[in-house]
Amino acid sequence: MDLATALRAFVRIVERGSMTAAASDLGVSQPAVSKLLRNLEAHAGARLIERNSRALRPTAQGLSLYEAAGGALAVIDAALEGVRSDVAAIGGSLRLHGPACIGEGHLHRIVANFQDRYPAVAVELILENRSVDLIHENVDLALQMGPPADQNTIVRRIGFSRRILVASPAYLCRRGRVSACEDLNGHDIVVTNASLLGGALLLCKGDQKIEVSVRPKLITNNAQVLINALKTGKGVGTTQVLLVADELKSGALIRVLPEYEIEPTEFFLVYPSSKFLRPTVRAFIDFAVPALQCIEGIY
């Protein structure tokens, strides 16, 4: 038995939770992976994986072996990758995940510029407004809003994204200016779910924080829907500066209560701690972080 191959297959089974997925990742058949696992269990003298009709999960002995073997294989892979990176250009595949609102407006351009510099890299860019399981979905790198819930990740902080109140000139002309926080009660409010705190907006002015109760006319989890509603005069709303910088410059949208802001959103790049950071992933991080930090509205 090739012990290194069997251990690599075992680690992939644990990470993917599936024989079929592990086989696909390793480029072998499912029966071959199953045989490697059986041989490894016979060699170890212990059952390493619990099998049922719904999922595979490591036993206590299997989890202990996974933690030790995963680290050892990462060191080996790191050494080999270091040798390869000395003689080969950055290339291969890169699987990225990010929020749709940031991806559509900014991340796709950063990816295109990265590929201009490194044309041998093939990128799969997944844009959707949800958390992602980096290991089980085989994602190399994710851009996330808010601190990652998974502690088994490596985090690179990008910064904070400013959030403000805006409205269209037509709406303000029709409904009147907003001169004070309490005036918001008399206006149509358009927000995302993340902007509300128990039915209230939390406005910040320096160290001062004010909760303003509102009754939203529209709540959406889609940033583009929100911006379209604001531009077409549907109300006063909260949005990230990075999403409406062009509209603010052109006058299509105007800041409301400019001395106040909504609590900012923190941005992070995250990647699995159990994976060795390939040169291509590291190159993208080094390229993307300053580019993201240069986006208007990020600080």
pLDDT tens digits along 207-237: 888 888 888 899 988 888 999 999 999 999 9
Query: Spelled out in words, what is the top-level CATH class assigned to the domain 92-159+266-293?
Result: alpha beta
Residue 83's pLDDT is: 57
User: May I ask the CATH class of domain 3-87?
Assistant: mainly alpha
Give the pLDDT of residue 215.
Answer: 84
Q: What does the pLDDT look like over 75-111, one tens digit per residue?
A: 777 776 665 554 456 888 999 999 887 877 789 999 9
Average pLDDT rounded to a whole number, residues 146-164 = 80
Tell me the fold of 161-265: D-Maltodextrin-Binding Protein; domain 2 (3.40.190)
CB burial readout 136-154, b (16+ within 10 A) else e:
eebbbbbbbbeebeeeebb
Query: pLDDT-derived band of residue 57, with 50, 70 and 90 as boundaries?
Result: confident
Specify the domain boundaries for CATH 3.40.190.10 within the chain: 92-159+266-293
pLDDT of the residue at 70: 76
* Residue 72: per-residue pLDDT: 79
> What is the model's pLDDT at position 35?
85
C-alpha span between 184 and 181 (Å, rounded): 6
- Reply yes or no on whether the pLDDT at 154 is more than 70: yes
pLDDT band at 196 (very low <50, low <70, confident <90, very high): confident
CATH 1.10.10.10 in the chain, residue ranges: 3-87
Instruction: Kindly give the interhelix angle for 108-117 and 279-293, rounded to the nearest 10 degrees.
Output: 130
Average pLDDT, the chain: 85
Distances (CA, A) of 245 to 193, 248, 267: 21, 5, 18
pLDDT at 87: 42
Q: Residue 275: its pLDDT value, please?
A: 56
Measured distance CA(30)–CA(20) in Å, rounded: 5
Within the chain, which residue ranges are assigned CATH 3.40.190.290? 161-265
Mind listing the pLDDT tens digit for each residue in 242-265? 999 999 999 999 999 999 998 888
Torsions phi, psi for 126 (to 5 deg)? -105, 120
- The average pLDDT across 50-63 equals 80
